[in-house]
Structure 1
Amino acid sequence: MFKNIVFGLALISFIACGSKPRVSLDEEALQLKPSAQHEVIAAEVANLLENYSYKKVPMTDSLSQIVFTNLLKSMDQGRNYLLQSDIDDFRQFENTISQDFRKGDLSAPFYIFNVYSQRYLEAMEYALTQVDAPHDFDVEEKYVAYREKLPYFKDDTELKDQWRKRVKYDLLNLRLTSTDKDSVDVEKHKETLRKRYKNLVSQAKQTNSNDAFQLIMSALTDAVDPHTTYYNPSFAQAFNESMSNTFEGIGARLMMENEMVTIKEVIAGGPAFKDKSLNVDDRIIGVAQGDGEFDDIIGWRLDAAVAKIKGPKNTIVRLKVIPAGQELTAQPKIIALKRDKIVIEEESAKKEIKQVKGEDGKTYKVGLIKLPKFYIDFEAYRRRDPNYKSTTKDVRLILDSLRQENVDAVVLDLRNNGGGSLQEAIELTGLFIDKGPIVQVRDVRDRVEVDNDNDPGVVWDGPFGVLINRFSASASEIFAGAIQDYGRGIVLGTQSYGKGTVQSAIDMSRFISATNKLLLKAKGLDKDPDTPNGAPEFGQINITMGKFYRVTGSSTQHKGVIPDISFPTQYSAERFGESSEPSALPWDQIKPSSFAAVADLTNVKDQLTAIHESRMEKSPEYAYLLEDIEEFQKLDSIQEISLNQEKLKEEREKTRAKNRARINKGLELRGLPLWKEGEPQPKTDFDFILDESLNVMTDYIRLGQTKLAKN
């Protein structure tokens, strides 16, 4: 749990907490307190949400109840740590917690977090005592790993019984997943488990007030709007780097293993990759800036170590490294690297050319562009750097190359693309239409602004398709909706996410009063040495300030974009997407923009749908897809696991046999060799929806849509 939190700055509190009664905590447990900076920020965020956000939500009893529920879920969603008596105790804050935010009083949520932290550590410590306890693997009993739909534990005895079963399951799992030689090595399994739980305890004890603050602020902002988020400085920097698809550092992905920072990936093109001196599983035990002294970072939190290793372009960092496979007693090697800007290429637009056989027997070339998100390097763009990285620039180059390779059609794959830059969504749409409005935005004052593509001409005017799914959101929906409204192409896939709100990223320092800044500075709390270079010192809030509308006047909020050619999906609107969010804004509509459609594709869409449905009636692969969806939906029930060794082994053998048969059915449908016992599992990432979408594009070409003419 704690390892999933991105950590921020560490500060000392000087503003007193509230005076509400509190149940005393174990003296040895974590007893975190909000810092002065946290309290100032909390009050300002509450003010922004009440007075300046799109919804303008007051801090009331009803909001407090939602914040309270969010806080409990974010800490213990699986209900494996807290007791019902804890929940009963917490209810004293249920109707007042949001009002406390307005006053900068974080004592209640920090109290709840501290109790949870204590329960977490108690559970881990008890689990360690059960590693060497006797376990009978012949008796029949059940273990439920994820208890979200079950009540909280009624008492400590019930909680301990859950963790006894958890340890028993972990030991049993090690037995059943080990090789024949190791399956009876009980001591080896116990030592593996001891290390696992001790590592969890170690990580938990490193939790600081910034971790708690980040989680607490998310409980507040999620209660107001699922897309309004406060980011502490580290989170803010990570978000901004994600938006630009770049960061400055050595070009390595790091993880914490056994309290040591470990290399898990060397990013192609970065300083570490070019230097060839760092390898996967190397451990960094010391960091120095330039010619400075080394800091020993063994046992440090990962975020603090990363803050030392990352840094501005063209600066030098020296690393003290134990190579992979060597003991800690080995002589470390010293590596000096010049930091540089790293481009995250795996999240950039990529092309592929697919050869697709149409119903007429001809083979067509379809250019496929996969776009994971809408990115732009804002900093380089603001500096007017002509080489700034952006989605539109990358896709323009890809389209030029696809045209040179004489493709018959282009498909843009936006599945799982959660959005990104609004500017890029607008400019990318302009590559496919001449000029005109792309999206309308209504702000907090009900003013509507129309964002246009003002760049004449198109880069690709041939047959075009856009592929979306339930996790295509925001900028993806703006793009797909515009292409659909203009009749510029065919939208395929499943209903999109339905995120039709606009967020502005605001540096919180803009809202911290001069008086509060002076108070913090006087106490030496205005800056923190562990805040990453370039990160906003008070963090950042991404706050909903408007709502998107298509050029037709329809909002993408809640409803999303409905494809022209629809496929079945396992992701229901009740459980996934904007419509599953309790605090989401509703769908509505405004006046349409004045726009001239490229073509009226109504008849073409009807014909394509008829051809597609006829093909699906005869397709065994389509039936295979429906079976997969049915199996997925069965997973929503409470999963009970047998702790009887022979029974669990038998259940797993049945599951493996079923999985093998399922994979072989897919291989057989594609005329591929079957997976035999003892062989490595074959590649099975078949993409029926993409394959059928490409078939639809060949139908589209055959229907005479080689060039789109205005009707």
Structure 2
Amino acid sequence: MRLRTKRFVIGFIALCVATLAGAAPRQIPLSELFPSPSQEKSAVVINRVLERFHYRKITLDNAFAQSVLTNYLKALDPARSFFLARDIDRFQSGARRLEQGLRRGELGLAFDVFRVYRMRVDERVEHAKRLLAQDFDFGIDETFVLDAEQTPWAKDGAELDERWRQRVKNDFLSLRMAGKPDEEIRDRLRKRYEGLARRTQQFDGDDVFQTFMNAFTQTLEPHTSYMSPSTSENFDISMKLSLEGIGAVLRADNDYTVIQSTVPGGPARESGQVQTGDRIVGVAQGLEGPIEDVVGWRLQDVVDKIRGPKGSVVRLQLLPKSAAMTGRVREVSLVRNEIKLEDQAAKSFVIDDLGNAPGLRIGVVEIPAFYRDFQAEGSGDRNFRSTTRDVRRLIDALVMQGVDGILIDLRGNGGGSLTEATSLTGLFIDTGPVVQVKDSTGKVEVERDPEPGLAYRGPLAVLVDRDSASASEIFAGAIQDYGRGLVIGEPTFGKGTVQTLIDLNRYVPGEQNNLGRLRLTMAEFFRISGGSTQLRGVEPDIRFPTAEFVTDHGERALDNALPWTRIRAADYKKVGSISVELLALKSADRVSRDPGFAMLIERNKLMRDVEAQSQVSLREDVRRAEDERRGSVFKQQQESFLRTRGMEPIDEDAEQIDEDKLDAQREVIARIQVDEAARILADSILLDRTDRPRAVMRD
């Protein structure tokens, strides 16, 4: 039996890793915050590259320029906590010249906005520190606005003072809800606000330029971005580290750094304690290092704190998505590690206790990513690892075990190699197209099954969720278009675009300065039936009720995302058709009586309620009551479900936890959707058994 304390999630590491501290970043004088000739040249080159190569054709008019300014202001001041209305009026007056200025690489307005921003930050931080010296009355009925994007800019300093009074009061209450004593809260918030001012003062010209150019590129489309020379260098370092770290994709959301996704095989996902939507509020080095409050930090600064050498420990304080603004955090210790190919490898198991279909056995193949060992392949290793090769072996083993059907589980699979998505589809069809790729010139290329023959011709289903993206959507869409199998679960992520990395110096021969790089969207994926996977994703044949909560997720939640569209269908022949009406009815009946789905639905409702909150109460008793209500509902539903499975629930907040039992608890929860998808496939086999062959080996 494995035991752990509440603090150490991964385990104790008796290795201390020393790091050499570099020179502290210096405060940049305002007199240095003006555009350089190389930045102006970069701006011109970026504009030309976008006009020539971007998939969405740019129209650099006044409306576009105004949108660039709006995005830039949002990037700097998303909560409208610093700029005044008179500042915005002056900036917008200058934006009337921004259209032509962008063409000529004129960046004066961008730097002017930032210099004002920096002065406003200094003013606000001093005001916030004065507020910390007073006592707050948490018994008064008042609220704090969470989403200030629709709130008008403050008309004067007095109005902004009041907004900051509420902001500081909310920050104070959030930490109080987390059990911190008042003096510790004051000290922590003082350091948080001082840190905000200090990091803003350390912004150099490259930082300002990158922030503005990303406001420019993302006005066009959300996956296009600019990397300054220093950011490009960090990117190269991270690639050479072979994903050493915690294995998490992060994004900025107002003052928070948010877990966007976790990488299969990485420490974050393996811990079971880091979830999509969690907010990182603190970072510490080693087992005993002090926690640094990172609320309000730049995304890159948080990434730099989390990054570290293999084998070292990083501790994260996480504010769960479900906790909203209540401040209830958990601490997770992770051992940084290299994410190896075998950690992402496909695996399989057999379900033979279906309940609705006694005697039937369903093989499940879990595919966490579409991987291919290009390095081993390039070196001539004929036995290099790949998703397709691994899945082929798993299918052979499942068939030898006498399974009646196979379920491919793509939940949480964010994609990977297009080659693997294409060849994996080829295991289940004889020959034909798999996906169409349209580039910025309108040219369409068709990716086809690379070799004839099938690895498996029996009953098939694919399980997807809201985080199945890119290559997962290509595979699921092809299986659905061919009528080869059922697609079950939730509408997928909707990532249907292709990006490439461009070195800007390629377009300025002889340029001595490093101009940086551009991550450019240059193509779009289309299904063989003609519709794109972009924005809408893949719609399941049979939807789980949790799909009700996928309306504002994935690509659909991004500003300026490319729209869904259609091109001519490829030349392909359907290999089957599946009537889903009766299958859907049978599934809906089971799900309505399943305590596991009742728990998942309630959990999703809580998440939806949290995301829909536009304001929170600043009354402590109200906040605590709401926090306790949510926690109670979640806990009761989970405990009720686990007891129906014969398990005694594990309290994850306990000081000592049986890790083996906790792993088993997580596995049972993860199996809820898999088990129902297997029952649906079993129903399909029983309803159509006379027409469907039993699972057979490949040709």
Same fold (TM over 0.5): yes
Q: d(CA) in 2 for partners of 1:61 and 1:301? A: 34
Residue 360 of structure 1 corresponds to: 357
Structure 1 range deviating more: 566-575 or 586-595: 566-575
Residue 160 of structure 1 corresponds to: 161
Distance 1:248 1:547, change over 3 A: closer
Residue 143 of structure 1 corresponds to: 144
Distance 1:301 1:673, change over 3 A: closer
- Kindly state the Cα deviation for residue 47 of structure 1 after the two structures are TM-superposed: 0.6
Structure 1 range deviating more: 550-559 or 480-489: 550-559
- Kindly state the Cα deviation for residue 571 of structure 1 after the two structures are TM-superposed: 6.4
2:545 alignment partner, SS class: coil
Distance 1:169 1:302, change over 3 A: closer
Identity, in percent, stands at 34
Distance 1:485 1:417, change over 3 A: same
Code of the aligned partner of 2:87? D
Q: d(CA) in 1 for partners of 2:235 and 2:389? A: 21
Residue 642 of structure 1 corresponds to: 617
1:450 alignment partner, SS class: strand
What is the 5 A alignment of 1:93-492?
93-178=94-179, 185-232=181-228, 247-248=241-242, 280-281=286-287, 343=340, 349-362=346-359, 364-371=361-368, 373-376=369-372, 390-400=386-396, 402-403=398-399, 407-492=403-488
1:600 alignment partner, SS class: coil
Q: Any conservation in 2 of the 1:507–1:541 contact (CA below 8 Å)?
A: yes
Aligned length: 601
Residue 509 of structure 2 corresponds to: 514
- Kindly state the Cα deviation for residue 482 of structure 1 after the two structures are TM-superposed: 0.9
Code of the aligned partner of 1:196? R
- Kindly state the Cα deviation for residue 92 of structure 1 after the two structures are TM-superposed: 2.0
| RMSD over equivalenced CA pairs, Å | 4.4
- Kindly state the Cα deviation for residue 241 of structure 1 after the two structures are TM-superposed: 8.8
- Does residue 697 in structure 1 map to residue 693 in structure 2? no
- Kindly state the Cα deviation for residue 359 of structure 1 after the two structures are TM-superposed: 0.7
Residue 519 of structure 2 corresponds to: 542
Residue 51 of structure 2 corresponds to: 50
Q: Which runs of no fewer than 5 residues in structure 1 stay unpaired?
A: 1-9, 11-25, 256-264, 270-278, 285-299, 311-316, 325-338, 527-537
Deviations 1:144-181 (Å, cap 9, x if unpaired)? 34423322222222222232333333333444432xxx
Code of the aligned partner of 2:90? D
- Kindly state the Cα deviation for residue 282 of structure 1 after the two structures are TM-superposed: 7.1
- Kindly state the Cα deviation for residue 46 of structure 1 after the two structures are TM-superposed: 0.8
Code of the aligned partner of 2:33? L
Residue 5 of structure 2 corresponds to: none
Q: Any conservation in 1 of the 2:466–2:490 contact (CA below 8 Å)?
A: yes
Q: d(CA) in 2 for partners of 1:555 and 1:591? A: 11
Q: d(CA) in 1 for partners of 2:492 and 2:119? A: 41
Code of the aligned partner of 1:427? S
- Kindly state the Cα deviation for residue 668 of structure 1 after the two structures are TM-superposed: 5.1
Q: Any conservation in 2 of the 1:573–1:580 contact (CA below 8 Å)?
A: no
- Kindly state the Cα deviation for residue 492 of structure 1 after the two structures are TM-superposed: 0.9
Q: Any conservation in 2 of the 1:356–1:694 contact (CA below 8 Å)?
A: no
Deviations 1:610-629 (Å, cap 9, x if unpaired)? 43234345445545555554
Deviations 1:640-679 (Å, cap 9, x if unpaired)? 3333444444444444444443444444555544689996
Distance 1:700 1:247, change over 3 A: farther
Q: d(CA) in 2 for partners of 1:340 and 1:189? A: 33
Distance 1:188 1:635, change over 3 A: closer
Q: d(CA) in 1 for partners of 2:472 and 2:641? A: 31
Distance 1:657 1:609, change over 3 A: closer
Q: Any conservation in 1 of the 2:461–2:485 contact (CA below 8 Å)?
A: yes
1:700 alignment partner, SS class: helix
Residue 609 of structure 1 corresponds to: 584
Q: Any conservation in 2 of the 1:32–1:114 contact (CA below 8 Å)?
A: yes
- Kindly state the Cα deviation for residue 491 of structure 1 after the two structures are TM-superposed: 0.8
Structure 1 range deviating more: 146-155 or 575-584: 575-584
Structure 1 range deviating more: 423-432 or 684-693: 684-693
Residue 564 of structure 1 corresponds to: 541
Q: Any conservation in 1 of the 2:595–2:640 contact (CA below 8 Å)?
A: no
Q: d(CA) in 2 for partners of 1:61 and 1:407? A: 62
What is the 5 A alignment of 1:486-505?
486-505=482-501
Distance 1:105 1:304, change over 3 A: farther
Q: Any conservation in 2 of the 1:206–1:301 contact (CA below 8 Å)?
A: no
Distance 1:164 1:240, change over 3 A: same
Residue 7 of structure 2 corresponds to: none
- Kindly state the Cα deviation for residue 564 of structure 1 after the two structures are TM-superposed: 1.2
Q: Any conservation in 1 of the 2:362–2:407 contact (CA below 8 Å)?
A: no
Question: Max radius of gyration: which structure?
Answer: 1
Q: Any conservation in 1 of the 2:456–2:695 contact (CA below 8 Å)?
A: no
Q: Any conservation in 2 of the 1:467–1:493 contact (CA below 8 Å)?
A: yes
Structure 1 range deviating more: 385-394 or 94-103: 385-394
What is the 5 A alignment of 1:518-667?
521=512, 525-526=513-514, 538-569=515-546, 575-579=552-556, 583-597=560-574, 599-603=575-579, 605-619=580-594, 621-622=596-597, 625-667=600-642
Distance 1:209 1:448, change over 3 A: same
1:491 alignment partner, SS class: strand
Q: Any conservation in 2 of the 1:50–1:59 contact (CA below 8 Å)?
A: no
- Does residue 686 in structure 1 map to residue 687 in structure 2? no
Distance 1:573 1:140, change over 3 A: closer
Q: d(CA) in 2 for partners of 1:391 and 1:322? A: 31
Distance 1:454 1:141, change over 3 A: closer
- Kindly state the Cα deviation for residue 593 of structure 1 after the two structures are TM-superposed: 2.4
- Kindly state the Cα deviation for residue 579 of structure 1 after the two structures are TM-superposed: 4.9
Q: Any conservation in 1 of the 2:405–2:460 contact (CA below 8 Å)?
A: yes
Distance 1:90 1:389, change over 3 A: farther
- Kindly state the Cα deviation for residue 369 of structure 1 after the two structures are TM-superposed: 0.7
Distance 1:322 1:698, change over 3 A: closer
Q: d(CA) in 1 for partners of 2:227 and 2:416? A: 16
Q: d(CA) in 1 for partners of 2:398 and 2:618? A: 56
Deviations 1:241-276 (Å, cap 9, x if unpaired)? 99x8x7349767899xxxxxxxxx9x999xxxxxxx
Q: d(CA) in 1 for partners of 2:437 and 2:305? A: 41
Q: Any conservation in 2 of the 1:444–1:545 contact (CA below 8 Å)?
A: yes
Q: d(CA) in 2 for partners of 1:28 and 1:235? A: 21
Q: Which runs of no fewer than 5 residues in structure 2 stay unpaired?
A: 1-22, 251-262, 268-284, 291-299, 316-335
Q: Any conservation in 2 of the 1:369–1:410 contact (CA below 8 Å)?
A: no
- Kindly state the Cα deviation for residue 238 of structure 1 after the two structures are TM-superposed: 7.2
1:602 alignment partner, SS class: coil
Q: d(CA) in 2 for partners of 1:235 and 1:405? A: 51
- Kindly state the Cα deviation for residue 41 of structure 1 after the two structures are TM-superposed: 2.3
- Kindly state the Cα deviation for residue 186 of structure 1 after the two structures are TM-superposed: 3.5
Q: Any conservation in 1 of the 2:55–2:439 contact (CA below 8 Å)?
A: yes
Code of the aligned partner of 1:157? A
